[in-house]
Structure 1
Amino acid sequence: MGATKQVEPVSSVLKVFGILQALAEQREIGITEIAQRLMMSKSTVYRFLQTMKMAGYVSQEDDTEKYTLTLKLFELGSKALEHVELISLADKKMRELATKTGEAMHLGALDEDAIIYIHKIDSRYNLRMYSRVGRRNPLYSTGIGKVLLAYRDEAFVRDALKDVEFIAHTNNTITDVEQFIEELAKVRDEVVGEDREEQEEGLRCLAVPVFDRFGVVIAGLSISFPTIRFEQSRRDEYVSMLHQAASSLSDSLGFHDYPQPVRTSSEVS
């Protein structure tokens, strides 16, 4: 193999992070001092700071005209750390379930108007779902998407889907927002979202919510099956295993009141 190609750094990006570093090291700092530290012109520092101010990452004191960091960077860092902690905690549970069932396990989070896979454990079988960490899929046709939205208010759901084109991936795909909202009520009742060959023909998926310490659904935990290996008679068993894992995971994240199903598949079938 050849040597790894070196990518030239983007100077403006380096300057932004240099300014952020200077702001992090001193609570309030002026343009002149930042310019001297970073050996940049004051006009350049001013332009960067004003842009960062408009983006909400920097604020300016009225009396001193000095600059300080806002909490927006903290919020971004907290989200990243939250996912790191979540993945670390979820990995053991997912591996246990993968060992018991032999099937693929996924952990997905909300990414604007889609889901994004943040962790996965592959099936032991050759015939398996194709997926990868970082891949995005629709909210309306996936089990994870359903549990991510089921515990949000209707206004949030409609806003998340307002620019989404409902594509009929299969004959089973929900293609209407009203029908999807009705489906979310069923998801809340059973505390499970199901993809009934809605995203891909020949593939079934069961997903349950994972809650953070504030009771917000931070992720969906799912198991995926090719339809030829999915046993309807064992559906409630699979759901129960998922609930136990997700309840334990939510408990580790500080949420101790995991919802109980008000009906099961046998009651609604």
Structure 2
Amino acid sequence: MANDNIVQSVDRALKILDILASKREGCGVTEISKEMDLNKTSVYRMLSTFVKHGYVEQDAGTERYKLGYKVLELSSSLLDSIDLRTEAKMYLEELSQFTNEVIHLVVYDRGEVVYIEKLEGNETLRMHSKVGSRAPMHCTSVGKVILAYLPPSEVSKILEDHALEPHTIYTITDKETLYQQLNQIRTQGYALDLEENELSISCISAPIFDRTGKVAAAVSVSGPTTRMTMEKFDQLKDVMISIGKKISARLGYRE
């Protein structure tokens, strides 16, 4: 559906940035032109404008374009402006020292979660997550714990707009099953991801609330399923809930 408030040239320029963000090896003018169904002259002019301002760089050898450091500068400015990261820092470090596993801090944005902090821990673990990346809500513990505390109408819209795609054989793809689990999460105060997003990796998370009482974020511990057993989750659940409450309190939340 058309939106009269959209500036077409800006919309196209931002789509170019999205394409470059998805291509680590960079893109040529022709490649972008074909993907956007836009003439090469227009694509070249937009890229040249981005290059002038530092948002895009061109490799002198391959002549391919990739994102420039100005984008990273903007990202850093945004992250620095989020008080949540500052207020949560010492509690994330406390959790990291206690578990030696990967710690994530995420926020909710437009039907997905966005990782805004990640502590690697002392144990070796390769995960797809990284600061700035997005993840679905239905198959991550952080996503599910946020869903559990969002207004029902908002949850319904999210599930309408975002398909419950299977990421592994353990992903919940049935809405009714997911709703049942969300009810359980609200009762127990934490959520689990049992290899639902990445095989061999399991997670536990707790919600974080802002001063208005709305769920604002989530904190999680992730590790290989060989270590993150149900016995381990039983040991961690109260710790996770406590950390979530401590961060919430720093944001001004009062139960």
2:106/2:116 contact within 8 Å kept: yes
Identify which of 202, 205, 208 aligns with 2:206: 208
AA in 2 matched with 1:201: L
Percent of aligned positions with the same letter in both sequences?
34
Aligned to 2:109: 111
Pair 1:137-2:135 in alignment: yes
Aligned to 1:159: 157
Once the two structures are superposed, residues 132-185 of structure 1 have per-residue CA deviations (whole angstroms, 9 ceiling, x without a partner) of 101111100000101111112221101112121221112211102222111110
Mark the runs of 5 or more structure 1 residues left unpaired by the alignment. Answer: 11-79, 258-269
1:192/1:207 contact within 8 Å kept: yes
Which 10-residue stretch deviates more, 121-130 or 199-208? 121-130
Identify which of 241, 244, 265 aligns with 2:242: 244
1:129/1:224 contact within 8 Å kept: no
3-state SS of 1:7 partner: helix
CA distance in 1, matches of 2:127, 2:101: 9
Aligned to 1:47: none
Deviation at residue 221 of structure 1 after TM alignment: 0.5
3-state SS of 2:51 partner: coil
Q: Which structure's CA Rg is the greater one?
A: 1
3-state SS of 1:234 partner: helix
Q: TM-score, normalised by structure 2?
A: 0.67
Aligned to 2:179: 181
AA in 2 matched with 1:212: D
AA in 2 matched with 1:197: E
2:79/2:116 contact within 8 Å kept: no
Aligned to 1:90: 88
Q: Quick one: structure 1 residues 122 and 81, their matched pair in 2 at CA, closer, same or farther if it must change by over 3 Å?
A: closer
Aligned to 2:25: none
1:109/1:118 contact within 8 Å kept: yes
AA in 2 matched with 1:7: V
Q: TM-score, normalised by structure 1?
A: 0.64
1:142/1:195 contact within 8 Å kept: yes
3-state SS of 1:8 partner: helix
2:125/2:223 contact within 8 Å kept: no
Deviation at residue 226 of structure 1 after TM alignment: 0.4
CA distance in 2, matches of 1:155, 1:207: 23
Aligned to 2:51: 7
